[in-house]
Amino acid sequence: MKKLMIVALMTLGFQGWSQQVELLIFREKLYDFGDVDELKTNVTHDFVFTNNSSLPIKILSVDASCGCTTPAWSQEPIAHGATGFIKASFDPRGRPGYFNKTLTVRTDLDANPIVLQIKGQVTTPSAELPGDFPIAEGSLHFKTKSFSFGTVYINRAPVQKQYPVINKGLTAVKFISVAMPSYIKVEMPAVLAPQESGVIKISYDGRKKNQFGFASDNIQITTDDMGDEVKSFSVFASLEEYYVSPVGAEVAMVPVLSMKQESIDLGSFGQGRVINTSTVVVNKGKRDLQIKALQGNCACITAETSKKIIKPGDSTTLKISFTPQNRGGTQQKAITVYSNDPRNPVQRLLIQASINEE
């Protein structure tokens, strides 16, 4: 009888410990590929983790949210303190534009899955104009029609990138002015002679933008290029806060965001309905957890929390509202949660539904 009680207490103690301690510690759970050339081969990234439990851990499965993403992982059990990997391979072919995909990891030690995330911008060279500068805007040729910054931090210095341009016309082109948001600065050549190349320098100040999540902006460059004076470009960025990863004793003293569910299946319903659901967000850390922002990946899904500051050991309700509008069939949406959890400041809740057309 005493042996049974000891085993039961050990089991309960282990379960309680596993709920408080992260069993697999990843170097990052989100990776931004930045610009990805649609005509190139797959891009890959290894999510490296350390086994933080007292027992060996085996990865049972890794499920990708899209057939465009192929996972691979450490096949042998990972001993305590040893490292393993989850490899994400993304195929950009036929998928122009912004992408945001997930990998759901399941182990033999914890029933709660771990969600990893990859994102980026697939750029598409024009099929009409071969060469290194395939995008034609009048006499000026560019490598891309849009300018992607990848991740920009709202609490760090501005990021500057350079984009090459060449004048393939027969006359010189003068750069006259540029219209842009206040948090974007553009430096242009004064004039480009025929066949002369130069660079357009663009700076993005996340502190002035002061917004979380994916952002799309527009800049308009005015030239004296006859018949094509105004040239319009998109500027993309994914904005979040930068945190220094805690080390040593600091690891046990930070806020830790944990969602009761990492995915919700709303089931089947008609287009005319608005579906409300919820989940619980828990602070498993030792300091106050701040919910900085919530962002849906389309206008059809919104979220709010009853609390913005969650005390250690406390929780709040994350309320979600999904409006199908004119959508039909299987829908996969997401809510991104931004917090001051320094190890995982960006986390996603996946929402799935099947919409019956009426």
- Confidence band, pLDDT 50/70/90 cuts, at residue 6: very low
Among 126-130, 223-227, 340-344, which stretch is predicted with the lowest mean pLDDT? 126-130
Q: Last residue of a domain, which of 59, 93, 124?
A: 124
Identify the pLDDT of residue 7.
44
pTM higher than 0.85: no
**Residue 234, SS3 per DSSP:** strand
| Residues shown for the chain | 358
pLDDT(36) > 50: yes
> Is 15 part of any domain?
no
Averaged pLDDT, 144-172: 91
Q: How confident is the model at residue 14 (pLDDT cuts 50, 70, 90)?
A: very low
Within a domain: 47? yes
Say what the pLDDT of residue 203 is.
96
Give the residue from 256, 224, 237, 241 showing the smallest Cα distance to 292: 241
303 shares a domain with 236: no
pLDDT-based confidence at residue 280 (cuts at 50, 70, 90): very high
Looking at the predicted structure, is the pLDDT value of residue 135 above 90? no
pLDDT band at 293 (very low <50, low <70, confident <90, very high): very high
**223 and 327 fall within a common domain:** no
Q: Give a yes or no: residue 14 inside a domain.
A: no
**Placement of tokens 């609390």 in the chain:** 307
| Torsion 30-262-335-343 (CA) sign | negative
Are 98 and 164 part of one and the same domain? no
pLDDT of 10 reads 45
Q: What is the DSSP string of 141-185?
A: EES-SEEEEEEEETTS--EEEEEEEEE-SSS-EEEEEEE--TTEE
Work out the widest C-alpha separation in the chain, in whole angstroms. 94
Q: Give CA angle at 319 (318, 321), nearest 5°.
A: 140
Q: Alpha-carbon distance 80 to 201, whole Å?
A: 48
Q: Report the alpha-carbon distance of residue 253 to residue 95 in Å, rounded.
A: 42
Q: Which domain holds residue 235?
A: 127-240
CATH number at residue 153: 2.60.40.10
Residue 6 in any domain: the answer is no
Establish if 13 belongs to a structural domain.
Answer: no
The answer to whether residues 139 and 233 belong to one domain is: yes
310-326: pLDDT as tens digits: 999 999 999 999 888 77
- On whether both 165 and 69 belong to a single domain, the answer is no
Last residue of a domain, one of 89, 124, 159: 124
Same domain assignment for residues 255 and 355: yes
302 pLDDT above the threshold of 50: yes
Residue 154 in domain: yes
> Is residue 1 predicted with pLDDT exceeding 60?
no
Return the bridge partners of 324, or none: none
Q: What is the pLDDT of residue 112?
A: 82
Do 105 and 149 have their domain in common?
no
In a domain, 255, yes or no: yes
Instruction: Let me know if residue 170 belongs to a domain.
Output: yes
166 and 235 together in one domain:
yes
Last residue of one domain, picked from the residues 194, 214, 240: 240
Count the domains in the chain: 3
Same domain, 351 and 331: yes
pLDDT reading at 224 higher than 90: yes
Residue-level pLDDT at 208: 96
* pLDDT for position 131: 59
